Structure 1
Amino acid sequence: MKPIRLEPDVIANCQSICDGMLDQLKLASDRALDLTAISGFGTFPSALELQSGYQNKFTGDPTSLVERLKQYTDAVIEMRAAFSEAGAGYSDSDNTMQQRLTSLDSLAALDSEKA
C-alpha cells in the first residue's frame, strides 16, 4: 500500500481536528466514569437486575460505553499518527524532489557552459 502524502497545512488542520476529538472523548470518558455507581432503581429483584444491566452498559463489559470510548480514543490517536506519518512522507518526498531539481539545474548549467 502506498503511503498518503499531504501538504503541511492540511496535516496541521487534520491533527488539530484530531486533538479536538481527543479532548471531547476525554470529557466523555471522564463523565462515563461517573456512571460506575448508579442507583435509584428500587429494591425489587427486577429493579436490581435492571440496575445491573444499565451499569454493565456503562462500565461493566467489553461493549460498554467506557470501553467504546477507549476504542474511539485509540482510533483517533492512530489517525493522528497516520497524519504525522503522511507529513513526514510529504517532507521526505519534497526534499527528494528538491534534490532532483537541484541536480537537473546543475546539469543544465554544465550543458550551457559546454555550448
Structure 2
Amino acid sequence: MSEFVRLDPHVIDEIVAICDTTLDELRSARRITDFLAIGHNFGDFESSKQLAAGYARKGAGTPESARERVEQFIEALTQLRDAFASGGEAFLDAQFDWTRQLQNIDIDA
C-alpha cells in the first residue's frame, strides 16, 4: 500500500501499552489451559477417565483447543502491537493480515 499513517508518539505508547496488557492476560490464559490436561482429580471410574480425556483435548493438542485459540489471539495481537509500535508505518500493510487472522479464528468450534 502506498498510503502512510503517522501517529502521535503518546497515542502509539498508549496503544502499545494496551496491547501489552492484553497480551499479558492472554499469556496468563494460556498457562491456565495447562490445567485442563490434569485429569487425575476426576477419579478412577471409566467415565471419569473419559471426562478427563475430553478436558485434555479441549485444553490442548487440537486445532480447536483452548490453548491453540489463545495462541492464535496472541499471534494476531502481537502483530498488531508491532505494527503500531512502528509508528503506524506498518499498520496499513499489517491491517489486512491481522484482520484476516482474527476472522479465521473460529470461536464457535
The interval holding the TM-score normalised by the smaller chain is 0.5 to 0.7
Please tell me the residue identity of whatever aligns with 1:32: T
- Which residue does 2:40 correspond to in 1? 39
Q: TM-score, normalised by structure 1?
A: 0.64
1:94 maps to which residue? none
Q: TM-score, normalised by structure 2?
A: 0.67
More helix by share: 1
* Sequence identity (%): 38
User: C-alpha distance in 1, partners of 2:47/2:18?
Assistant: 44
Distance 2:18 2:50 in 1: 41
The answer for the alignment partner of 1:22 in structure 2 is: 23
Q: Across the two proteins, how many residue pairs are aligned to each other? A: 88
Indicate the residue corresponding to 2:50 in structure 1: 49
Q: Secondary structure at the match of 1:13?
A: helix
In the TM superposition, what are the counterparts of 1:1-115 in structure 2 within 5 Å?
Answer: 1=1, 2-85=3-86, 87=87, 89=89
Displacement of 1:43 in angstroms is 3.9
| Aligned CA-pair RMSD | 1.9
Runs (5+) with no aligned partner, structure 2: 90-109
Gaps of 5+ in 1: 90-115
